[in-house]
């Protein structure tokens, strides 16, 4: 299996260090060679930089890619936005020699050059293609038995012509990875709808963002699940801290636990909820925490 450099992005470091811990512990358990990427910056965010200044977006994204090229490692991301930004930039520069030359003129000013020698992987995409659900099951020591509302997010599956992960309207690959942990991925209304965070909506159009989130939360609660599982720290932030804002704005009482996939997988690999940072979330559901600690202790 190839060597990887771990690109954590901004939100994990600043808001959810538990996701970083969970990711690294899972990688260790699965014997995946993933090293930190020294000097990495923001990806940068695809819905903002790319929309306003493509040249700047490419220069910043390619700088991160070059850091990994120097290590001779493919990049592994744990964020849909980082994946979208870095994978799209990598592909565009590889396919367009003129664009690559213009970007390299910018990089030359800091003594760097994009060569196009590495790939950008998302941890869900990587685990699905390199392990697959059946092989992943072989590593599970504690089948979870949880009911999960899965959120794919936008950049993981689109643009579909570049992602090549199958059907975009009703994908199944992430569901299969969730169910490899012994959890049940429960269908719910508008499962593939955006959470309302990306594209600058959360920061620039807060009211609309919360309306979208409230609709998703209502659909998820109706499905009667134990938790929400995502693969993107920005979606994670929206579902977690966003629940508090939704409750304040709409007078609701949502308290649905939110896990990144590496936290769910970590539970199935026998890692404790405390080590996985599950208690660091803004939403603290005591009933759920008791359940996962009992699962971890073999009491369920």
- Show which of 74, 93, 122 is a domain's final residue: 122
Residue 216 lies in a domain: yes
Residue 127 lies in a domain: no
- Show which of 91, 122, 153 is a domain's final residue: 122
pLDDT digits (tens, 9 = 90+) for 119-161: 999 999 999 999 999 999 999 999 999 999 999 998 888 766 6
By the 10 Å C-beta count (0-12 exposed, 13-18 middle, 19+ buried), 298 is classed as exposed
Higher pLDDT, 164 or 283: 283
Residue 173 lies in a domain: yes
Do 266 and 25 touch, CB atoms closer than 8 A? Answer: yes
Maximum Cα interatomic distance, the chain, rounded to a whole number of Å: 61
Q: Which two tokens stand for residue 271?
A: 């890692």
Residue with tokens 């964020």: 79
Q: 110 with 24, same domain?
A: yes
Residue 164 lies in a domain: yes
> What's the domain count of the chain?
2
In this prediction, residue 48 has a pLDDT band, given cuts at 50, 70 and 90, of: confident
Q: 290 with 179, same domain?
A: yes
pLDDT digits (tens, 9 = 90+) for 193-240: 999 887 677 766 788 999 999 999 999 999 999 999 999 999 999 999
For residue 13, the model assigns a pLDDT of 87
The separation between CA 166 and the C-alpha centre of its own chain, rounded to angstroms, equals 18
Residue 66 lies in a domain: yes
For the domain that residue 15 is a member of, what is the CATH number?
Answer: 1.20.1050.140
Q: 54 with 94, same domain?
A: yes
**In three state form, how does the secondary structure of 206-241 look?**
HHHHHHHHHHHHHHHHHCCCCEEEECCHHHHHHHHH
Do 51 and 38 touch, CB atoms closer than 8 A? Answer: no
State the average pLDDT for the chain.
93
Reference 123, options 163, 168, 77; nearest CA is 77
Q: 150 with 54, same domain?
A: no
Q: 157 with 24, same domain?
A: no
Pairing of strands 34-36, 4-7: parallel
Q: 221 with 260, same domain?
A: yes
Q: 117 with 136, same domain?
A: no
Q: 228 with 174, same domain?
A: yes
Q: 138 with 104, same domain?
A: no
For the domain that residue 251 is a member of, what is the CATH number?
Answer: 3.40.50.11810
Collapsed DSSP state (helix, strand, coil) of residue 101: helix
Query: pTM of this prediction?
Result: 0.95
pLDDT digits (tens, 9 = 90+) for 176-186: 999 999 999 99
Report the distance separating Cα 263 and Cα 185, nearest Å.
Answer: 15
Range of the domain at 29: 4-122
């Amino acid at each position: 299996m190839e060597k990887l450099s771990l690109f954590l992005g901004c939100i994990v470091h600043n808001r959810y260090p538990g996701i970083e811990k969970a990711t690294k512990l899972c990688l260790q358990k699965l014997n995946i060679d993933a090293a930190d990427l020294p000097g990495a910056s923001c990806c940068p965010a695809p819905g903002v930089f790319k929309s306003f200044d493509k040249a700047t977006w490419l220069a910043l994204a390619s700088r991160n890619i070059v850091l990994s090229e120097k290590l001779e490692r493919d990049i592994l991301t744990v964020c849909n936005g980082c994946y979208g930004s870095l994978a799209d930039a990598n592909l565009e520069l590889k396919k367009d020699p003129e664009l690559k030359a213009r970007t390299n003129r910018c990089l030359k000013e800091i003594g760097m050059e994009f060569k196009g020698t590495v790939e950008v992987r998302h941890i869900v995409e990587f685990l699905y293609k390199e392990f697959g659900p059946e092989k992943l099951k072989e590593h599970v020591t504690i089948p979870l038995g949880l009911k999960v509302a899965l959120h794919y997010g936008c950049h993981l599956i689109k643009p579909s012509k570049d992602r090549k992960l199958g059907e975009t309207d009703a994908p199944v690959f992430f569901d299969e990875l969730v169910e490899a942990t012994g959890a049940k991925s429960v269908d719910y209304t508008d499962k593939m709808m955006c959470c309302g965070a990306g594209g600058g909506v959360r920061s620039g159009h807060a009211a609309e963002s919360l309306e979208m989130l409230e609709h998703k939360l209502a659909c998820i609660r109706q499905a009667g699940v134990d938790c929400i599982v995502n693969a993107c720290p920005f979606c994670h932030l929206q579902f977690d801290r966003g629940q508090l804002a939704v409750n304040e704005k709409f007078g609701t009482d949502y308290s649905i636990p939110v896990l990144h996939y590496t936290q769910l997988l970590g539970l199935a690999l026998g890692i404790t909820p405390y080590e996985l940072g599950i208690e660091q979330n803004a939403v603290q559901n005591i009933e759920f925490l008791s359940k996962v600690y009992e699962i971890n202790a073999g009491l369920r």
